[in-house]
Structure 1
Amino acid sequence: MIRWIQFRNPSASISSLHHRLNSTTTTPNPITPVNPSHLLKVSTILYQQQNSPESRFHTSLNHCNFHLTHEFFLQICNQFPYSWKPIYKFHIFTQTHNFNHTSITLNKMLDVIGKSRNIDLLWDLVKEIGQRQLVNDKTYKIVVKTLASAREMKKCVDFFHIMNGFGYGYELGTLNKVVDMLCGCKLVEEAKYIVNKLKDGGSVKPDGFTYKCLIRGFCDVGDLVDASKIWNLLVDEGFEVEIDAVEKMMDTLFKTNRFDEAMKLFQSVRINRIDEVGLSTYKLVIGWMCRKDKLGHARMVFDEMRERGIEPDCEILGSLIYGFLSKARIREAYAIAEAIDNPDISVYHGLVKGLWRLKKANEATNVFREMIRRGCEPTMHTYVMLLQGHLGKRGRKGNDPLINFDTIFVGGLVKAGKSYEATKYIERVTNRGLEVPRFDYNRFLHYYSNEEGIIMFDAMSKKLREVGLFDLGDIFERYGQKMATREQRRDR
């Protein structure tokens, strides 16, 4: 699938790092505090009179006697993040009061109009902003993302041509920033279209960084065929395949259960490019080998890493701990863990996950208590693993509603306004002809993460201890104390 090549020495420069400066320099406007009462009055008028005649609309705003500043305009935009009409009418009003826009205020307005999908108005404003010479890289990102999301592909390309007409030129650095942004938003097909059109028209020739972004984008959406095509195109044009692009391709091959191809790529890098293989590459390979129960191969790679003088971090050691536990080699796993001076959460997660796999839920809870004692605060993932270890993937059944998690989960769905999901869940549970769905502990914890949840988790922990489930009681008590509300999670 991928064309294997002999790697050359790494190139010193990956992409152009220059930034286009605005043709007009403006002094930064000082941020002045906004009067909340004025903001409320103006927002109310914008909402209530957005369909009123312009004369009445302007008269109402003039009666507010507010101080129009750039910060005030931005705050108004924040009041209507998905509604273009109030913002645009306020923009028209500001033009009657000698209000000078900046790139920041115009980009904020474009963002609101883009989110509301008013493509025609967006297109008109783009030309106006170009004439004002207030376009910057943020403008490119907002406009192209909006047009690409709406599948206005021709306008995506035309936008670059229009900006060139306003004197901004065809900048490779700008194209790379746009492509990087689109690939991060999983709009990689649209990014590829823009790159090809600008390349075929002779406007902008992509470089190695452009192709790297496309490879990463196709890997993120799971399209290895197109990722391989871009890889081969990059090689044919004489660019260097960066090590992070190699790692991304390997990670995607692992995720799609193409283990042999991923290892073939890793071996190619080891043979031709060993000096660039660092901690991140070893971490990726060792982690996946341990997950796939290939502990022997993981040990070989680990030993090679140590021979090269690369010290493992806690994440690699956590993967090895899980690998040993998955093979029931408990003594060796604990020996690794005890030799770590300052273990982080990845080490404890390796222990908890491995013990959970061995059905040693009580030992996993002891690890949970130890990590708290040593000042390492559990995350949501920790609690979900512990609950799955104690209760199984389908939750605990019982006559008492306080320990019957079906009852608690349905109650949480109803309180969160998810009555349809609650009904469907009950239907699947009560209908013996259908398999009972996997219990979603993430949703269970999420729907009770509020002030009422603090009381519920406390009552649940007491009830669980009464029936002898001390480990579960400790888990829910700790969750209620540290994770039930946003303030608790922030201060933990």
Structure 2
Amino acid sequence: MTFLFRNANPSSGLRPFASAAAAAVSNIHDIAPPFPPDSLRSLRQSPPLLATDRAGGTFHLRCSPLSLPRSPVSCPHRRFHRPYYQAPTILPPPYLSSHLPPSLPLLLKPTRVFSSSSESDSESDNSISPPPPPPPPNSNDVDRICKVIDELFSSDRNMEVVLDEIGVQIESSLVVAVLDRFRHAHRPAYRFFRWAAARPGFLHDSTTCNKMLSVLGKTRQFETMVALLEEMGKDAALLSMDAFKISVKAFAAAREMKKCIGIFKLIKKYDFHVGLDTFNCLIDALSKAKLAKEAQQLLDKMKDQYHPDIHTYTALLYGFCKIKDLAEAGRLWNEILDSGFKPDIVSHNTMLEGLIRGHRRSEAIKLLELMKAKGPKPNTRTYTILIQDLCKAGKMEQAVSCFDEMLAACCSPDVATYTCLIVGFGNARQMAKVSSLLAEMSQKGCPPDARTYNALIKLLTNRNMPDDAVRIYKKMIKNGFEPTIHTYNMLMKSYFHGNNYKMGCAVWEEMLGKGICPDVNSFTVFIGGHIRHGRPEEAYKYIEEMINKGMSVPQVDYNKLAADFSRAGRPDVLSELAQKMNFTGKFDASNTLNYWSERMKKRVKRRGPCQSGRGLV
């Protein structure tokens, strides 16, 4: 389905800001714009870097002048393997409860896609070639299956019977494509996964199972995820190290430290080789989940078993920088040097970004000067970090000076660098410079990508100019870049807040037509738009759809929703929905709706009639 935005008036909102951006994007691709184009130095040498601890004192971040040898690390793809034999049960008894779904008849393929890590199996490993990539699925078949799931999942009709009758050939690539469509809705995804497992002639493989694990992990359905992991462990050809990585990252993202380590320990029970690469994956997952302190404790506990290398320390350094604990980051930096390692460019950039996040710009500049003097030499990423910070602060002259210094240092800017400058000048409403940068990007061989287009769309939607943002959106598609779910969320929110209900709904339909699965944010914006424009029945329908799909209840204006229903003669609609959710076992959703129902009862009498909802933020 093609989204034409027929209701957008070509002459509306043609302000210099938007016109210059769209015209510039058109010019660099030699495509005529859809609307008139005329309307749209150096850093000083500083003393050695100092870090400040919580007590207000300072200490030096030392820099080793010589590169010392590091511990050798083998290729992870040669170590994450195991021999053939049946694995023990993965789940401890207390972990499972009686309400878990039954085990899947996975009908797994008897082929292995990984080799053994032992030396005795090296010859057989070399004789096994990796399987060829599967052919892409038929998009029409994917659309047909997804349409059946959308229409029948929440109804009383038998979805599986209808899927049996459509006569689609089930293949691994098709299963992965369908699961990707429902990656934010674990209930229909899991139900389809089980149906596919029962199809005659189809056998789940590691790719489809890992995709299902990823869906369950991202939606935090941990009991079902571990149950599936246990079922995968019954076949030597199915369970791979990637499955454990997905599980570890899912638990870490939910800040489930104990369960994360529990998955790590289970790897040994399946006789996989647990080396430094695997341990680094665990440290990295914990650090990205803002569990740097816990990751440090784990490293101290297991340092004798897994000797850390520069990658271990860099992952931990990123964790401390992410939580803005610069005292610990500085201590760790010195520990890296004391351990005989020399921080590489990734470590330096991580520390530089941490200082910027902690509002230590002067110390970040000192680190930059130290890199120039003693190495490693700053790269494109180094300068982009500084330019992005200066653009956010509105210091565009300094950002341009840093950009010029970057060019003088023979560092070629990339798309991310130009996008930072474009956003900075766009926020400063200097669209002539935005147009110049867009043209320069094309001339220097790095034309705008999806990030650049999304940045331009965000600039326009933040200024309540959705019609002009749509023109950038069309140009984005025409130049071969697929919009992301964030693109549609921005456009949809801008239209709803601009009191254009019909176009907000059109964006939703366009997103579904592109095969993009709405996430919680998408539903929140869409339901909020219905509430804002006085359409409680539509809002209620999509709240039910979210809950039926296993998604969390959206945070919207339930006071206005309940008030609208009260005026329509249905004052207890939220209580009724909460009771329904409680009866079906969705206790979190029930508690949320009960909370808003009680608030509504206390406040609805004090709210005046506000049918349009324009005063809402």
TM-score, length-normalised on structure 1?
0.56
Quick check: 1:214 aligned with 2:316? Answer: yes
1:221/1:65 Cα in 2 relative to 1: closer, same or farther (>3 Å)? Answer: same
Letter in 2 for 1:229: R
Q: Distance in 2 between matches of 1:25 and 1:220?
A: 39
- For residues 217 and 302 of structure 1, the distance between their equivalents in structure 2, rounded to whole angstroms, comes to 31
Answer yes or no: is 1:114 the counterpart of 2:217: yes
Residue 157 of structure 1 deviates from its aligned partner by: 0.8
Task: Tell me the residue number matched to 2:274.
Answer: 170
Cα shift readout 1:464-487 (whole Å, capped 9, x = no counterpart): xxxxxxxxxxxxxxxxxxxxxxxx
Change in CA separation of 1:253 and 1:294 when aligned onto 2, cut-off 3 Å: farther
Q: Report the Cα distance in structure 1 between the residues aligned to 2:390 and 2:199, rounded to whole angstroms.
A: 66
Whether 1:311 and 2:369 are equivalent positions in the alignment is: no
When residues 121 and 225 of structure 1 are mapped into structure 2, their CA distance, relative to the original with a 3 A threshold, is same
Q: CA deviation at 1:411?
A: 5.8
Question: How far apart in 2 are the matches of 1:181 and 1:240?
Answer: 23
CA contact (8 A) 1:39 1:72 kept: no
Identity over aligned pairs, percent? 24
Give the aligned partner of residue 233 of structure 2: 130
Cα distance in 2, alignment partners of residues 274 and 310 from structure 1:
13
**Shift in alpha-carbon separation, 1:103–1:379, aligned structure 2, 3 A:** closer
Matched AA of 2:231: E
Q: How does 1:399-438 map to 2 (within 5 A)?
A: 412=498, 415=501, 416=504
On the 8 A contact 2:275/2:306 being kept in 1, the answer is yes
CA distance in 2, matches of 1:116, 1:287: 32
What residue number does 2:521 align with?
Answer: none
| Equivalent in the alignment of 2:352 | 250
How do 1:88-487 residues align onto structure 2 when only pairs under 5 Å count? 88-93=190-195, 94-95=197-198, 97=200, 99-133=202-236, 134-180=238-284, 183=287, 186-189=288-291, 193-194=294-295, 196-197=297-298, 200-201=301-302, 203-271=305-373, 273-274=374-375, 276-277=377-378, 281=382, 310-311=409-410, 313=412, 364=430, 367=433, 412=498, 415=501, 416=504
In 1, Cα distance between equivalents of 2:143 and 2:422: 51
Counterpart Cα distance in 2 of 1:89 and 1:387: 37
Output the CA distance in 1 between the equivalents of 2:172 and 2:270: 25
Q: Which blocks of at least 5 consecutive residues in structure 1 are unaligned?
A: 320-343, 389-407, 424-492
Structure 2 CA distance for partners of 1:293 and 1:114, relative to 1, 3 Å: closer
Contact 2:419 2:455 in 1 (8 A): no
Residue 157 of structure 1 contacts residue 198 of structure 1 at CA under 8 Å; is this kept in 2? no
**Are the structure 2 counterparts of residues 104 and 347 from structure 1 closer, same or farther at C-alpha, using a change threshold of 3 Å?**
closer
Deviation at 1:286, TM superposition (A): 8.4
CA spacing shift, 1:200–1:66, aligned 2, 3 Å: same
Distance 2:351 2:271 in 1: 38
1-side partners of 2:426 and 2:220: how far apart? 47
Rounded Cα–Cα distance in structure 2 between residues aligned with 1:215 and 1:63 = 55
Name the CA shift for 1:124/1:12 in 2 (closer, same or farther; >3 Å): same
Partners of 1:387 and 1:83 in 2: how far apart?
27
Counterpart secondary structure, 2:335? helix
* Deviation of the 1:255 alpha carbon: 4.5
Offset of residue 103 of structure 1: 1.4
**Distance in structure 2 (CA, Å) of the matches to 1:39 and 1:348:** 42
Residue 159 of structure 1, CA deviation:
0.9
- Alpha carbons of 1:130 and 1:13: their partners in 2 closer, same or farther (altered >3 Å)? farther
In structure 2, do the counterparts of structure 1 residues 36 and 12 end up closer, same or farther at CA, with 3 Å as the change threshold? same
Q: Which residue identity lines up with residue 158 of structure 1 in the other structure?
A: G
Task: Output one character per residue of 1:402-459: Cα deviation in whole Å (capped at 9) or x when no partner.
Answer: xxxxxx9996166456669999xxxxxxxxxxxxxxxxxxxxxxxxxxxxxxxxxxxx
Match of 2:27 in 1: none
Query: Does the CA-based 8 Å contact 1:349-1:382 persist in structure 2?
Result: yes
Alignment: residue pair count: 360
The change in CA–CA distance for 1:154 and 1:368 in structure 2 (over 3 A counts) is closer
In the alignment, the residues of structure 1 paired with residue 201 and residue 214 of structure 2 have an alpha-carbon distance, to the nearest angstrom, of 23
Change in 2 beyond 3 A, CA 1:130/1:255 = same
Specify the code of the residue in structure 2 equivalent to 1:157. I
> Judging changes above 3 Å, is the alpha-carbon distance between structure 1 residues 60 and 224 closer, same or farther for their aligned structure 2 residues?
same
Q: Given residue 62 of structure 2, which amino acid in structure 1 is its aligned partner?
A: I
Give the 3 Å change call, closer, same or farther, for CA 259–252 of structure 1 in structure 2: same
**Which whole-Å CA distance do the structure 1 matches of 2:433 and 2:401 have between them?**
24
Q: Is the 8 A contact 1:414 1:422 kept in 2?
A: no
With normalisation by structure 2, the TM-score equals 0.46
Instruction: Give the deviation of 1:104 after TM superposition.
Output: 0.8
Answer whether contact 1:144 1:178 (CA < 8 A) is retained. yes
Aligned equivalents of 2:164 and 2:436: distance in 1? 64
- Larger RCO of the pair (alpha carbons < 8 Å, separation 6+): 2
User: Superposition RMSD on alpha carbons, in Å?
Assistant: 5.0
SS in 2 for 1:132: coil
- Give yes or no for the alignment of 1:10 onto 2:67: yes
Alpha carbons of 1:227 and 1:367: their partners in 2 closer, same or farther (altered >3 Å)? closer
Instruction: Identify if the C-alpha distance between structure 1 residues 163 and 97 changes in structure 2 by more than 3 Å, giving closer, same or farther.
Output: farther
Give, in angstroms, the shift of residue 165 of structure 1: 1.1
Deviation of 1:105 (Å) = 0.4
Amino acid in structure 2 at the alignment position of 1:25: R
Contact 1:352 1:386 in 2 (8 A): no
- 1:95 and 1:410 map into 2 onto residues whose CA distance is 44
* CA distance in structure 2 between the aligned counterparts of 1:213 and 1:106, rounded to whole angstroms: 28
Q: Which has the larger radius of gyration?
A: 1
Task: Measure, in 2, the Cα distance between the counterparts of 1:286 and 1:91.
Answer: 46
